[in-house]
A and B are shown apart, each in its own frame.
Chain A
């Protein structure tokens, strides 16, 4: 950001920036009122105290040879007053704050339930139809999945974690709830207005240009989902986009995410890399850095196994489809040199067979060996062709698949 755009946005938004962000949910307004009540009451209190302090400092500055007047060092009515008045103020804050909070702790009937899984260091939304998001966006220095939610009706977030404690935080909805391993927690929100629309042309949710000026300023590109409980290395990159869609758009977007059959293996693998949690730790650049090894050029390389109970088993492997499959489902079976002891979350049951193959194909395509890359492309193209043939020839029953297909039903 250049200094000039910074200063212009400072001028226009300075006052707004001092308060809460846009109020995106049906009940956030009352929370704002409580905060502003406390804020202005405190501000008034502060000003009175500081004016007194500065006035006393100036008025009673020591003069040489002059002693202080004798004055009371105790005044019971005054002391009772300044104990009771703050107590009353605190009582108002407590009752108002609790009154507003408690009903919001209970999820309304009939809310759309989205399973949210937190892991180091990515969020995953699983929608009622079993779909997960395949759309991504660049945030800070990461390409992260975007999650859509419907506008105008309550959405329940069923939260859990696969590793350490995370916290689900969307500032515009004023919600925050910790996510624990081995335990469910819930929170809910009812988004007021859509921030995005669904573009059927490319199947993406896109932000509304509210000012219609061709620019997307702060607050026009939807909301952020943050992790608010420190969870390790890339805690600060657990920042994802929340897009609020009108109901028909939401349904269309959901359907689009659900249907991965038509996505060629290579493209699907590349998408899953970004949305499935892989990108948080694995780079795809040569010599790329991360908590886990880069995927670039690993295809076909040797991997030692962890010390097995039975010495004949798991003595090691080379990176191939079977290896990748095992490493995703049981990450502790093998390790990459230099990454011994790194604990990767288990992904058993997270990906379908076709998705696992897609990821393996994608890794193959990142090989240094041109022949392997070519093979990955061929595999993807062949599968797409076979599928097209199968779709076309379904009526004739003449499809001949050398590579039997597992139906892609994410979450099945």
Chain B
């Protein structure tokens, strides 16, 4: 049997050969699948850290005063200020309560540099410190190891060449490099984690990150630096592939919108990531060689780091969300069987967002920079909101007079529209100077970016995973249980994060391990949020089991189960090693549902309008 006609998941005769066919593969689909497995593992690891964070906040810390007999004499839970009759009872020991992460004592060994004598001592790591590591772990893993590669490197890798009608990406070897660099960077991150983790927050703000005595910052920063190369390589590969490898007959405006989104994303990845790389290297130099760049004690400037960091990390927000936009465009068009409304507006708004995203970085610094700069960046920030709003209108308009299949991907598209619209609409309060001063660095911001990143990208990613699952695995998943899982995720997500907007307006700062005991609203809202996080866990576990069940016991999937018109539905399921039997011919645009009949699909399931003119 010729390799070219086997589907890409087929074994190679022996286990060893099959494994080697993955390890040294240049096949974009295999690389994409390996990426997918890795990012899903990272998602669960980062999610566990988030559950720990939520558990810690279930109730505030308080102090109990215990006498010599071990009896609790008083506590500070009901403490109401200096006017109350609360006094610390004589002869009692205060003990910290209400903490999920207790203080732990670790053994230290110190070596006297003169004599080489080693002395053992002990040192206490506070529960706060462990909480701080947990949220840093959550942020770092979710940003650098999950959400940035999730859509482009996993789903994008699998489908970008197929949707363009190409055999592979332009540089298959670079693609494999990108994967191994990701793996190497991920190992650095895991190493930093095993060594005890990092507690700087994923933003690594100086001078805290350049002076903190809790180590591993260098390892974690290097991990992010290495992962940046992986991201750049994927971006370069996609740009060249889109320019050079479109099947003959496919013009720029015949490309699926997922490709447009990945193209815009790739531009940002290539242009912005080097800035982060060099910034992180500077932090390493400052920590290691005491070169004063960001630390005022060494003659540096602390705010400079924030400029450099956000010059990458704000565009990075669009690296995370634009591919999500692309997925939603695909899902809505296919499952509504409708030409997407305002195709060019969506395509151009992706490019516009990519361009403007480079001009808004300093809105992360409204409380740290000059008021004049604030005005400029406030205005620029509102500019980026306009193309984003246009996309939402286009998606909802596409549903008008369409034929909507109630499938899991479409359900997720609706969840996306719901959550992302909330995420988008809570942007303007943060862009408005007078209001942002109050909301900056509070839970309002936490809720806002989780609605965009999780309610946006993650929901789109899970939707896209269901949309393309039958195609790239060749297996059908259980629609009922996927729907159940989807609803639980949706409810859990909103329960967790919606209340956080109000925590923010109430003034609860972010990254807090505890909060005052005498503000009842804080405690109630945090409890609600924590319960929501448990629902989220349940929902994602259901999805995991649905996918595992599908792989192990799922029925063989049809070639075009949704009746899609883009090229990936024309090939075999799962796709052939070189994607297509022969080069596909463009007979219709990606969304010509009014005029073109889907191939490989039952015409009875996907009828055409009765007055359909013949395909041109």
Contacts and interface: CB of A to CB of B under 8 A. Distances in A.
Given A83-B386, A340-B110, 8 more contacts: A42-B428, A57-B404, A98-B375, A140-B515, A141-B98, A216-B518, A233-B128, A235-B128
A237 B61 CA distance: 10
Contact of A176 (B393, B441, B519, B520): B441
Nearest to A218: B519
Contact of A67 (B98, B126, B610): B610
A290 B126 contact: yes
B267 to A, nearest CB: 23
Given A6-B523, A138-B63, A236-B512, A42 B296 contact: no
17 contacts: A5-B520, A6-B520, A6-B524, A20-B507, A50-B418, A53-B399, A56-B404, A68-B609, A70-B609, A93-B431, A140-B515, A181-B207, A205-B82, A235-B132, A235-B512, A285-B94, A341-B213
A185 B511 CA distance: 23
Contacts of B296: 180-183
A337 B434 CA distance: 49
B507 A226 contact: yes
A236 B515 contact: yes
A231 B129 CA distance: 11
Interface in A1-48: 1, 5-6, 9-10, 13, 17-21, 30-31, 34-35, 38-39, 42, 45-46
Nearest to B333: A73
A178 B62 CA distance: 28
B23 interface: no
A83 B387 CA distance: 8
Interface stretch (B145-153, B334-342, B529-537, B552-560): B334-342
A327 B525 CA distance: 43
Contacts of B79: 138
Interface string A132-146: 000101111100001
Given A6-B523, A34-B434, A94 B378 contact: yes
Contacts of A234: 126, 128
Contact of B421 (A35, A39, A50, A215): A50
A78 B421 CA distance: 19
Given A50-B421, A146-B82, A1 B108 contact: no
Interface of A: 1, 5-6, 9-10, 13, 17-21, 30-31, 34-35, 38-39, 42, 45-46, 49-50, 52-53, 56-57, 60-71, 73-74, 78-79, 82-83, 86-87, 90-91, 93-94, 96-98, 100-102, 104-105, 135, 137-141, 146, 163-165, 167, 169, 171-172, 174-178, 180-183, 185, 204-207, 209, 215-216, 218, 220-222, 224, 226-237, 239, 241, 285, 289-291, 307, 337-343
A342 B121 CA distance: 14
Contact of A49 (B367, B396, B406, B523): B396
A91 B60 contact: no
Nearest to A48: B396
Contacts of A1: 77-78, 517, 520, 523
A227 B208 CA distance: 14
A236 B514 contact: yes
Nearest to B417: A53
Contact of A60 (B207, B341, B400): B400
Nearest to B410: A57
B505 interface: yes
A225 B161 CA distance: 55
A37 to B, nearest CB: 9
B211 interface: yes
Nearest to B611: A70
Given A20-B505, A57-B399, A49 B208 contact: no
A206 B297 contact: no
Contacts of A218: 518-521
B408 to A, nearest CB: 14
B218 to A, nearest CB: 15
A61 B406 contact: yes
A306 to B, nearest CB: 10
A82 B14 CA distance: 59
Nearest to A86: B389
Given A56-B396, A234-B128, A38 B429 contact: yes
Interface string B417-439: 11001100110110111111110
B305 to A, nearest CB: 10
B608 interface: yes
Contacts of B431: 90, 93-94, 97
Contacts of B96: 141
Between B94, B502, B518, the greatest number of chain A beta carbons within 10 A of the residue's beta carbon is seen for B518
A204 B87 CA distance: 14
Name the 8 nearest CB pairs between A and B, nearest first.
A171-B507, A97-B432, A338-B121, A216-B80, A182-B296, A221-B81, A17-B521, A236-B512
For the side of the interface on B, what is the size category? 35 or more
A338 B378 contact: no
Given A98-B375, A141-B514, A343 B213 contact: yes
B311 to A, nearest CB: 18
Nearest to B594: A70
Given A42-B426, A53-B399, A60-B404, A230 B205 contact: yes
B520 A137 contact: no
Contacts of A174: 434, 437-438
A72 B122 CA distance: 73
B115 to A, nearest CB: 11
B520 A52 contact: no
Contact of A207 (B81, B212, B397, B517): B81
A236 B380 CA distance: 33
B401 A71 contact: yes
A19 to B, nearest CB: 6
A18 B499 CA distance: 9
A93 B382 contact: yes
B611 to A, nearest CB: 7
A56 B413 CA distance: 13
Contact of B432 (A9, A56, A62, A93): A93
B392 A49 contact: yes
Contacts of B103: 289
A83 B390 contact: yes
A182 B207 CA distance: 11
B246 to A, nearest CB: 22
A10 B520 contact: yes
A91 B432 CA distance: 10
Contact of B425 (A42, A64, A70, A207): A42
Contacts of A171: 438, 506-507
A98 B378 contact: yes
B469 interface: no
A342 B132 CA distance: 18
A110 B593 CA distance: 71
B128 A181 contact: no
B440 A73 contact: no
Contacts of B594: 68, 70
Contacts of A35: 429, 432, 435, 438, 505
Contacts of B403: 60, 62-63, 66-68
A342 B426 CA distance: 41
A395 to B, nearest CB: 38
B434 A100 contact: yes
Nearest to B340: A73
B41 interface: no
Contact of B61 (A13, A98, A140, A221): A140
A66 to B, nearest CB: 7
B379 interface: yes
A274 to B, nearest CB: 11
Contacts of A96: 432, 434
Contacts of A53: 396, 399, 414, 417-418
B194 interface: no
A190 to B, nearest CB: 15
Given A13-B521, A67-B608, A141-B96, A239 B422 contact: no
A78 B103 CA distance: 60
B105 to A, nearest CB: 8
